[in-house]
Chains A and B, each alone.
Chain A
Amino acid sequence: MALTDDMIQLLSAGVAHQVGACTNAGRPVVCRGMAAQHEAGRLLVIISAESGFEVLDAVRQNGNIAVNLTLPENYRSISFIGNDAVVRGSGAAWRPLVDERHAAFSRQLLRFGIQPEYTNAWYSASDEHLVAIRFTPLQARNQTPGPGAGDPLALKPIEFEK
């Protein structure tokens, strides 16, 4: 399934990223992500291999993943769930995307008086630690805080080029 247009817009709106996974032994793990991007029906999320080592281990074990995106200005929050996640490539190639998302996120938090110096702590991974995880979103869930958190949201079918 593919993301709807408003979901794709959300990716670049200045969201906070949280990436969850679960090991085969049933240990849930979570880390902060730094960027997400839509790529032909798949979702790519960048994390730090240093702070997200447990998430990488769990993803490598079973491919299960949940990526939560939350826009600070209204707490609108969506999770994308997949079971085919793979860890791909790392390094400086992701830096421009990370910087762009970092800037948008910092602008969001500045609305709340949180200074960029503070946000920088979450984006301080070096290029060598940037790692991408790609997966096909099977489900989208509304995670806006409240009674409906966890309820499914509609995705649209992937359109293949003929």
Chain B
Amino acid sequence: MSAVFDDDLSLIGVRRMMEGVIPPVLCTASTDRVPNVSYLSLCEYVDPLHIALSYQFFNRSRENVLATRRAALTLDDPYTGAGVAMQLEYLRTETEGPVFERLRAKLMGVASHVGMDKVFHLRGADIYRVLEMRRVPGRKQLPATQPRVDLPTNSRLLSERMANCEDLADLLETMLDGLAELLHIEHAMLWLTDPSRQALTLLASHGYDTGGTGAEISVGEGLVGTAVREGVPIRVGHMMNMATYMRAVRDSADEAGFPSEHPPEIPLPGLKEPRSQLAVPLRARGRVLGALFVESQHDQYFGYDDEDALMMLCGQLAVAMSLMQPQEHELPAMPAAGVAATFEQSGPVVRLKRFGRDNSVFLDDVYLIRGVAGAILCKLVAEYLRSGRTEYTNRELRMAPELRLPDVQDNLEVRLLLLQRRLAEQRAAIQIEKAGRGKMRLVVSRPIVTEVAEN
């Protein structure tokens, strides 16, 4: 059976109507032709002839579709007010595979963002063949909005700037500055995956009052955590509308007793009232190294084109992070004899407390960092107190067995950068600065005492 589409209509051309600003409307009918009309959570483009609809609950629509295999669907353009009407033939329900995973990620990402991920469960992705697609006649449409920037050209410019970066700090700064300058994305965060703890740590941010470096969330938490867990981008273009929809489902499900949330140790940066958000995974060598998260105070700020552009730039960033190793053959195997510490710092003593279980580090009872970055700091400080050394090579850290670095080549450099930024943001009495290629220097401005707690 061949599909009948109005001239110039294609499924890829209407995929922006599937974003849920105006929820899709599904009409089914029983075998005795009693109609049933309902709104859908998600509609997803599959290929030029197929779409997927979310299957969350066994309700009247589902019953009808299984009985008749037919449905009508209408979609509204979130920009112009235009609409399309489709005739669908139900083919099958997928419970695994890329389409299912994409739908589940979107559903969980949005649900998690509004704290309702315990209620939502995607039972399947219902795959439909689109038999007909026609424009809804008689609508006086608004003119299409102009794109805010020339996305392909400016993405290319940013990509070229990133390609010229020689170290990781420069690369991150170039990317975040370039997003603002060239793509008009003013609010962005870069999150780093810590696979051993199933956590994400904020590495850098742009456009917020607080930097938040070192802040943590769990993999699977919110849009960012879900994008990382599933390895796919997740975009929400109309936060208020989606949140209201989700609350309606929660109330309808009559669920109660959500686990209470603990306040984060480091306050998360973020817009108070975001209207659009997009999380894009940083993927390289088959792994998800982290995620870029961008947001805006405007509705529908990020479209499919932004998603495509940021996927490309994030891919470049992830590969660069993996490859950006100091050229160790140019370095001495060991550093020059440690620069002796003077131990003449003045001022009150800084208490560095380390919790052995997860390498959490507190400075004067204020949480600083945990994980590999925490272990690095403790090693540097211990060596400093023992021998007075202040300069180290990255290589000797990478070889240190006690750091138990995850099996990711870039990890040390990224963790060092995270630690360096967190210390700088805290204006701590201990700082780390670069001391040449592949080398770092510990700068201590106050006397230190250390303490280790087992738990």
Q: Which residues of A contact B (CB under 8 A)?
A: 18-24, 26-32, 48, 50-51, 53-54, 62, 64-68, 70, 72-77, 79, 81, 83, 111-113, 117-122, 124-125, 129, 141-151
Contact = CB atoms under 8 A, between A and B. Distances in A.
A121 B80 contact: yes
9 contacts: A30-B37, A30-B72, A66-B27, A77-B39, A83-B34, A113-B238, A113-B275, A117-B142, A146-B248
A66 B37 contact: yes
Contacts of B27: 18, 20, 28-30, 66
B25 A18 contact: yes
B248 A145 contact: yes
A50 B248 contact: no
B39 A24 contact: no
A88 to B, nearest CB: 19
Interface in B29-75: 29, 33-39, 41, 57-61, 63, 68, 70-72, 74
Interface string B70-94: 1110100000111101010000000
B149 interface: no
Contacts of A50: 137-138
A38 B35 CA distance: 20
Contacts, number: 169
A19 B80 CA distance: 22
B33 A62 contact: yes
Nearest to A139: B34
B129 to A, nearest CB: 15
Main secondary structure, interface of B, reads: mixed
Given A28-B71, A147-B59, A112 B38 contact: no
Contacts of B423: none
Contact of B244 (A18, A74, A147): A74
B70 A28 contact: yes
A19 B25 CA distance: 10
A149 B248 contact: no
Contacts of B138: 48, 50-51, 124-125, 129
Contact of B140 (A74, A112, A121, A142): A121
A124 B140 contact: yes
Given A62-B33, A64-B33, A147 B139 contact: no
Contact of B35 (A28, A146, A151): A28
Contact of A30 (B41, B74, B140, B251): B74
Given A20-B27, A28-B28, A51-B136, A66 B36 contact: yes
A63 B2 CA distance: 31
Given A30-B85, A145-B249, A146-B248, A65 B35 contact: yes
A129 B83 CA distance: 18
Contacts of A64: 29, 33-35
Contacts of A145: 38-39, 41, 245, 248-249, 252
